[in-house]
Amino acid sequence: MRVVKSVSTMQRLARNWRRRGVRIGFVPTMGYLHAGHVSLIQRARRIAGKNGIVIVSIYVNPAQFGPAEDLSRYPRDFDRDWQLCRQAGADVIFAPNDAQMYPGQGEGRYSTYVVEERLSRSMEGQSRPTHFRGVTTIVAKLFNIVLPDAAVFGAKDFQQAAVIQRMVQDLNFPVKIVVAPTVRETDGLAMSSRNKYLDASQRPQATVLWKVIQRAKAAVKNSSRPLAAEKLRRELKAFIQRQPAARVDYIQFFDAQTFEPVRTVTGGTHIALAAFLGNTRLIDNGTL
């Protein structure tokens, strides 16, 4: 497995592979990898085939963090990431630094951003106003550097996957977007690099995000009529906030295609939520 740090080297390698008809599968990450990332790399491996190339990028993208967020303390462990990438079947780790990705930022030599203007407005986009601009910009840049045939994203970040899919359609990127299922701990907590921030009392409470999705599913299943979204939302919020460390940021019921919020909840409605456990902000989602 090869580690590439320079944009120009990565782009040159990718162009050579593409010219020779080698299929490139790509998994963008911020590192501190876990079994969720591993499942995406394995999926990319299957898509690329044994003659293809699987590239994993590891880059903590400052542009997708708000000023008060956890950029400076985001967990990192390159040696462990390297092992996991190799075991999962990656061929290349692309690990650029900020100077490679945003040359001259603040000095006027970096000033171009990609903005999706519809799906990115609600939920994560509302709570984290510059987040998706950072995500679409870095993913567009990475696509131009890595030149993937296919890129794999996790359903854990459901809105992100939809925003990327829309960007790819709207800007005609020749990349197939694949969305892989959320990988969970045995108690239901969605795997996340940020779970590391949870202390021993917060960690068991964090399963409440998953529990609340199960609760919403049960409510839909046990009702013969559509449920009022606002009433269900209030009930679920109260359920979460019974955990002493938990504070709800949002709970949203919406149509998974349009991302429009719905007033009534039925089978097939999508739920997404964000909650703080202490200072740690976690997200989860599912189909009801």
- Active-site positions? 37
Calculate Rg over the CA atoms of the chain: 19
Pick from 173, 171, 177: nearest CA to 117: 171
Which of 163, 265 has the CB closer to ligand AMP? 163
In the complex, least distance from residue 28 CB atom to ligand AMP, rounded to whole angstroms? 6
What is the rounded distance in angstroms from the CA atom of residue 20 to the CA atom of residue 12?
A: 13
Residue whose CB is less far from ligand AMP, 190 or 272: 190
Least separation, in Å, of the C-beta of 113 and ligand AMP?
18
- Taking the complex as a whole, the smallest distance from the CB of residue 126 to ligand AMP amounts, in Å, to 19
Q: If 0-12 CB within 10 Å is exposed, 13-18 middle and 19+ buried, where does residue 106 land?
A: exposed
What strands lie across the sheet with 176-180, from one edge to the other? 2-4, 92-94, 53-58, 24-29, 150-154, 176-180
CB of 109 to ligand AMP, least distance (A): 26
Stretch that binds ligand AMP, among 11-19, 31-39, 252-260, 267-275 (CB under 6 A): 31-39
Binding segment toward ligand AMP, per CB under 6 A, in 35-43, 109-117, 120-128, 254-262: 35-43
Contact residues for 283 (Cβ-Cβ < 8 A; gap 6+): 124, 156, 157, 190, 209, 272, 273, 274
Least distance from C-beta 164 to ligand AMP, angstroms? Answer: 9
Identity of residue 138? I
Residues 6 or more apart in contact with residue 182 via CB below 8 angstroms:
36, 154, 155, 156, 190, 191, 284, 285
Residue among 154, 166, 167, 265 that touches ligand AMP (CB under 6 A):
154
Q: Which is nearer to ligand AMP, 14 or 178 (CB)?
A: 178
- Which amino acid, residue 265? V
Copy the structure tokens of residue 164: 């990327």
By CB under 6 A, residue 134 contacts ligand AMP:
no
| 159-218: contacts with ligand AMP (CB under 6 A) | 180, 182-183, 190-193
Q: Which residue is nearest to ligand AMP (CB)?
A: 154
146 exposure class (CB count in 10 Å sphere: 0-12, 13-18, 19+): buried
Contact positions vs ligand AMP (CB under 6 A): 29-30, 36-37, 39-40, 153-154, 156-157, 180, 182-183, 190-193
